Amino acid sequence: MFTRDAMPPKVLHDKQVTGGSLLRGVDQTLSAALGGYRSDKPVSGYGNYVEPILHAAEHTRRAVFHGNATEWARAKDEFRTVGRGGLRNNQREYQTAQQQQKQ
């Protein structure tokens, strides 16, 4: 974890997490093909339900295994988009609150 004098942890880059780069490639391919946040198509059932849950699960994994509160905040933000237009409508409410609390 971090001390009061240290910077709060940031969201981890894919290269810092085991399997992160592989998961990112799969995610981008599925998102573009199935109407997710990387697609030019309207948001599909995949983009509205499956994709945000998978993203939230990945950030939860990173939060638990790396003790990273910022990853946990991102997971909560992404889970809130389920059924609400998916990741295209992601609001950073928890991440913003977590950053303000640490300052």
Domain ranges of the chain: 18-102
- List pLDDT tens digits, range 29-70: 999 999 998 899 899 999 999 999 999 999 999 999 888 888
Tell me if 78 sits within 8 A of 90, measured CB to CB: yes
Distance CA 59, CA 57 (A): 6
Distance CA 94, CA 48 (A): 20
Share of the chain above pLDDT 70, in %: 90
> pLDDT: is 103 or 17 the higher one?
17
Sign of CA dihedral 98, 49, 35, 85: negative
**0.85 cut: is pTM over it?**
no
